[in-house]
Structures are given as C-alpha cells and as structure tokens.
Structure 1
C-alpha cells in the first residue's frame, strides 16, 4: 500500500505542470487606436466562431491598443505585451494562437523578433504556438508612400481614410524594407520567427453593385478599396499588394484557393466573417 501511495504521488507530481495549463487565442487588430476592437474591428460573429477552434473557447482575448504608433512604442508593442501577459497569467495559458490583421502582424513580429527588448516578451514567445496573419503588411504599402510623400490629392485621400499616423509612416515600402533587414525576423535571408507565421493573402476587391458578395463587411469599404487599388499591383486587397502580405512567414493560402465561391478578400473583408474565412481559421487552429 505504501508503494502504491508513493507511486501515485510521483504520477501527480509528474503531471502537475499540465493540470492547470490551457490553450488560448488572442485577436490582434491592425492600424488604429482601438478601445472596442471586438465590435469596431473584428465583429462578434468572427471572434465567436474562430475561438471555437481551441479546446477551451472561453480562453480568448481581444486586444485594444494604440497601433497608430510605431510598432516598438509602449502604446503599441508595450500595450500588446501587457494585455497578453495578463491574459496568459490569468488563464494560465501554455499554448497561445495569435490572430492578427494588417499592421498587427508587424507589431507581433516586433515582439517575437526582439526578446531582450522587454522583460515581458520572453514568456509570451515561449507560449506562442502559432500566428495566423491575415493580410499582414510585412512589406509595407505604396499607399503609405503616397500618403506621406505624394501630391495634395493623395495626401488628402490618406487623411480622409484615416491613414495619417506614425504607423502609416512605418508602413512605407522602404521603411519596412529597412526594418525587415535589421529588427524583424521572418523575411527572406533573415532568422526565422520562433513560431509559425501563417499568412492569408487577399488578392482582389469586388465592388460590383449588383454582386451581393460586394456587401460583406460594408459595400462602401469595397468601393474605397477599389479606388485605392489604382496605386497597387493587380494582385492586391485594395490596401496591400500580395507580395507585401507574403513577405514574412509562409503563405497558408491565397483567398480564392479556399474561400466560399472562390471569392477574393479585400482588406476590409479579411478581418470579418466573409466567404467562410472565420470557419477556415476555426478549423485550422
């Protein structure tokens, strides 16, 4: 009996680190100063569907930070680190999936690439299992160049669309090339990121008024993004060229390869429940 008790104790000790562990998912928005990203950026339908892909769906957090700042700023990466650290501690998360969109992918890459920058970073890096990056601006965008260096019309367009900020300066093509070659990991010729950075690429914008698919996530946004495509390659989501989205990590898929009806994902639609995207992510994670 004594031997049995000792054996039982050893088993309990051996498994104890896993008793309170948990999986979790974090939703990390893109450019903008968010205070209610669940409703203003993602939508409940998107978040509530995606989080069903983890074993404990209640273990999720929707990040609200000031991503109008440079990625390394306390209001950006520092805020992200604090909210993730609190979530990991409160829920005892040991396997974290991050869902990012647009410039959120750059802030996440900053955190993953610079473990000595902030004492909170290493623990986050250690528990991160994967990043699903939706239309990340890894290579920047000519639209940021147009807003910051262009003519009056281009600058005014950027202001009207809310694209004048340090974060947009950061996403100029030459600036992102510099960051990718120095501070950030995951691009060609640079060290790999510590966790998979899996990219969904948006390749086009549909805004035909007679096409019901053009209304997913707001018809007015598709019209605006169709306009901004004039500054971009044919393969773009209206804000980012496909080459920029695929510059870091590995491409999981390009929209039409897997979306319902082989529909493209505009930059607005790639953060919403459009064309089965939310279910594809749910099943993937």
Structure 2
C-alpha cells in the first residue's frame, strides 16, 4: 500500500492529515516491487568490478524504505530538514516542516540556534510533528570548479545526520534529499552519494530503519540507482558490477579522490561521529 501526502502548494494549507507510520510503508526488500527486470550484462565486456561491493542483503533491504511523500507526516523517531546556514531557506521540505511543527520550532531556530554551518547538523524537538526530533542540515552549493569539495560535503551531511541519530538513540529516521535543485547539485551525483552513504551506515549498524523520502521529481532517478547499492536479487547484484561507478566510496561511503592523493588525519575536535571508531571525524588534507 502506498501512502502519498497532499500535494504542496505555495500557500500551505494547514489541513489536518493523519501521520504515516513506518510500519505502513513497503520495505525495499519486497521482491514484488521489482518494476523492471534488470539487464543481464554477463555477455558484454569486462565489468567495472570483479565482485559486488554491495552484495544482496535481506537484513539491510528490510531496514530501508524508499517512499514518495511528505516527510513532515512520517511517524518516525526523527525526520530531516534541509535548509541554509541561517535556517531560513524557503523550500518545499522546510516550508512543510515549519508549518506543521508550529511556532515553537520557528522560535527555537531563530532565537536559540540561529546558525548551522554547511555540512553540519543540529537537532531540535519535533513539536507538533509526528516525529520526536528534527535533524537539520545545510547542503553545499555545487559548481564544477569545486566539485570535489561539494561531493565530500554532501556525504558529510548524510553521514552526520545518521551518526547524530545514532548518538541520540534514534532507531527510525526519515531522510530527505539534501542536494536540492536550489543548490545546483546534479541529481544523479547526489543520488549516488546519498544511497551509498545510507548503505554503508546500515551495514555498520543493525537495528536502525531509514526511510528515504522523495518528491515526485526525485523518484525516477532514485529508483534507477537504488538497486546498484541495494540489490534485491542476484541478477540486480550482478548487473550492478557493470553499472556502478568506479568510485564506490570509502568505508563510510565518502568520495575517494585518488588523483589528489589525500590522506586522513585524526581530528579530536569533531563531536558528531560516535563510537570508538567514530568519535572523531576526519579532515582531508593534501599530501605534500
């Protein structure tokens, strides 16, 4: 069963709509949701990858949901909001969240938090929303000249959202697409980063459920790319060997920048990453 929210209009109508429980949403692992048979590339030239970097896993797929609908209606422990550094950006997602959450959220953002740096996250209460918390993040503005920096920062947005959720003890989280059209991010590049970051997180943690909430214009590209990172059978897993990009990211799904010969250094100042191996994030520096 598919629950689709009310369509967004410029003048938000504060009509009361029932919350959407996660239990009512179809898990990605459901085989009957396979709309198109994957292409068998086995007779073609050598694949990009010899073995699957993202093998088929029912335990992972059953904790992952792709849903087209209004994130402000999802009855999860937390939802995400994509905004700007002043927390006042006008976009479809923010407008819905702010309108349904009520004046308490606006006051907290304007009077207490006031600012969020690009790539970082902040947590507020959900107020009148079905979700208990809102995790706010600021995505990067994309341009070809700073392509590498934008891609790395977008990964940080998703990774920090998920790690902050883990830190707070959240078991179910609805994640929006952070790389909005307003920020000029190529949709396919943003989709690859989002999906592989979520996949790596679900590999590392075994009890969290993630709902990727999409707008209608985002659904097509995510449904095409998602089977590469979340194959639902052996044919999808095999087809991904030809279709996955050569850069499949690092251990957390972060972009790999081989041509710049980067190295990773310990940064004890960061407080978002959690666990013994995550309590500090990493700063990328160029090798001398």
Greater relative contact order, per chain length (Cα 8 Å cut-off, separation 6+): 2
TM-score by length of 1: 0.28
The structure with the largest helix share of the pair is 1
TM-score by length of 2: 0.27
